[in-house]
Amino acid sequence: MDLKSEIKKRRTFAIISHPDAGKTTLTEKLLLMGGAIQVAGAVKSNKIRKTTTSDFLEIEKQRGISVATSVMTLDYKGAKINILDTPGHKDFAEDTYRTLTAVDSVILVVDSVKGVEEQTRKLMEVCRMRATPVMIFINKLDRVGKDPFDLLEELEEELKIAVCPFTWPIGSGNDFKGVYDINNKNIQLFNPHKGAKTAPILTTDELDNPELLEHIEKSSLEKLWEELELTKDLYEPYNEGLYREGLLAPVFFGSALNNFGIPELFETFIQIAPCPTGIKTNDRIILPEENKLTGFVFKIHANLDPNHRNRLAFFRICSGKFERNKMYFHTRLNKRIRFAAPASFMANSKSLVEEAFPGDVIGLYDNGSLKIGDTLTEGEILQFTGVPSFSPEILREVINKDPLKTKQLEKGVRQLTDEGLAQLFVQQPGNKKIIGTVGELQYDVIKYRLEAEYGAKCDFHSLPFVKACWLSSDNKKEFEKLLQLKSHVIAYDKDDNPVFLAESDWMIRITKETYPSVNFHNTSEFKN
Ligand code: G4P
């Protein structure tokens, strides 16, 4: 098959949600539908359930599981589906944000009882930033949830995206009767006792059909009809262009647990979700059908086997064909590199891959030369953009507890932060190391892993900062002045870019007023 046909077949996406909305359940149902797994329960939720006291063994176990379930590939009706898994726990949100840089679209799961939640909002911000096409699945219709009109209004207002319902629910909770498929004009009946079996489809839009009335009361059908009329006035008609630009989200209702409403979602997804398209680099847009290989690393799992210190780098192919044992160019290190045992992922197992195409994610074993954001090409010097670091919310100083192990600590901190577990900032004088995260749990993980994998002991000293902003300015003199006069709140990131450590948003505003030519950015990638 030629490159273009391979690209057209691929759908690379992530399922995202606030924890507990049903991401894992939906993923599993998609894998079951695609035949990638045979039994329910095969996909383990990779969330760390114990949130108050972190359980290290659990974390270790989860690391193992999340390697296997990080990418799930399946073939469905001629399409090659790559599902990129994201951690369920909010403290690992940064990992999720980075994974979103490697997908072509997302399915966002919203709990119909809870509506839009904190993590839903944050994830959508990242999607908006990258103009990622979004489809929304409103889950748990078997429970008494919010009114569908209220839910859609909440989505539009809070997620700042226009919505277009593709299905419409008939009742909820105990009165949940099914969904009306607006485009195909049919009703799919809900029968919770039939479990994963697809309910019968009655192809009619005549709502006094006696066959329908056997299942649904006339008053419910009349209500449905009225609601459908209203939807026509209230929501944008579907427009592929707007969906592809991330401005309009098709919405589906259902119940993942009951495998209900999922075929409609998945079939539509395959039809309209984008295959790999052009991706920005610092220099030009790379088109997937270009013959030469390009791609980037968006995630790293380190020290999979403590005896070998190997790492698995997750590499997203953006153009051309990847071939095992071929020499590729590592643009950051300016060196050639070859991979003898690249891995592809199939549901929850890995296997050796000979070749891979745009949209695919493969695992590259390496002993430390690959970092998050690294680009591989066939010789061209370029760097993919859009794999930024995000401002951390908690910042703490690393305190070495065993002076004899200073080197190990240094190495461990560097490697674990290269892996993307947290961000490292260095402050002068004194080479002070500051670790920034979005959640408490990472500090426990880092402390535990430094000791288990590097034999180093440390403590973390709380700092009063709640944000780290990257800085830029066209006014060199004023910029230098700020860096000098505010050196107590300036640190440098892994690429030696200055960041401003802020105690509050107010502090940023005040500093900005004093140095009007300096820009403060929430991510490490910005345009002035
Ligand atoms: P997550 O990955 O987004 O965190 O959510 P997950 O799929 O683990 O689902 C969270 C909980 O919601 C699970 O229950 C799951 O069974 C339930 N759930 C998912 N879809 C539906 C649905 O359509 N209807 C209802 N009523 N519940 C649903 P749990 O008790 O936390 O876990 P488990 O013991 O069932 O695994």
- Residue-wise pLDDT for 383-398, tens only, equals 887 667 778 889 999 9
CB 310 within 8 A of CB 350: no
Residues 356, 437 within the same domain: no
Residues 260, 368 within the same domain: no
**Reduced to 3 DSSP states, what percent helix, strand and coil does the chain have, rounded to the nearest 5?**
30, 30, 40
Instruction: Please give the distance, rounded to the nearest whole angstrom, from the Cα atom of residue 203 to the centre of ligand 1.
Output: 31
For residue range 317-346, list pLDDT tens digits in order: 999 999 999 999 999 999 999 999 998 876
Report how many domains make up the chain.
Answer: 3
Residues 251, 296 within the same domain: no
Give 87's pLDDT tier (boundaries 50, 70, 90): confident
Residues 298, 314 within the same domain: yes
CB 370 within 8 A of CB 364: yes
Atom of ligand 1 nearest to the CA of 143: 26
139 lines ligand 1 (CB under 6 A): yes
Smallest CA separation from ligand 1 atom 25, residue: 140
259 lines ligand 1 (CB under 6 A): no
Q: Which helix (H) or strand (E) holds 164?
A: strand 162-165
Q: Which helix (H) or strand (E) holds 286?
A: strand 285-286
Instruction: Please give the distance, rounded to the nearest whole angstrom, from the Cα atom of residue 194 to the centre of ligand 1.
Output: 18
- Of 331, 350, 377, which one is at a domain's C-terminal end? 377
Instruction: Please give the distance, rounded to the nearest whole angstrom, from the Cα atom of residue 257 to the centre of ligand 1.
Output: 7
Residues 16, 165 within the same domain: yes
Q: Which of 16, 17, 20 to mutate to test the pocket of ligand 1 (most atoms within 8 A of CB)?
A: 20
* Sequence-distant contacts of 207-213: CB under 8 A, at least 24 apart: 212/187
In a domain, 220, yes or no: no
Smallest CA separation from ligand 1 atom 9, residue: 22
Round to whole Å and give the CA distance between 359 and 192: 36
Q: What is the pLDDT of residue 377?
A: 96
Instruction: Please give the distance, rounded to the nearest whole angstrom, from the Cα atom of residue 161 to the centre of ligand 1.
Output: 26
Q: Which amino acid is at 475?
A: N
Residues 457, 336 within the same domain: no
178 lines ligand 1 (CB under 6 A): no
Q: Any idea what the CATH number is for the domain that residue 338 is in?
A: 3.40.50.300
Q: Which amino acid is at 394?
A: I
* Domain membership of residue 143 as a residue range: 3-173+237-272
142 lines ligand 1 (CB under 6 A): yes
Q: What is the pLDDT of residue 503?
A: 93
Q: Which amino acid is at 35?
A: G
- Of 344, 377, 410, which one is at a domain's C-terminal end? 377
For residue range 479-521, list pLDDT tens digits in order: 999 999 999 999 999 889 999 999 999 999 999 999 999 999 9
Q: Which amino acid is at 69?
A: T
pLDDT of 431 strictly over 90: no
19 lines ligand 1 (CB under 6 A): yes
CB 524 within 8 A of CB 424: no
Closest listed residue to residue 110, CA positions, set 167, 160, 152: 152
* Phi, psi of 52, deg, nearest 5: -80, -55
Give 38's pLDDT tier (boundaries 50, 70, 90): low
pLDDT of 69 strictly over 90: no
Residues 400, 313 within the same domain: no
Q: Which amino acid is at 304?
A: L
Mean pLDDT computed over every residue of the chain:
85
**DSSP label at residue 116:** S
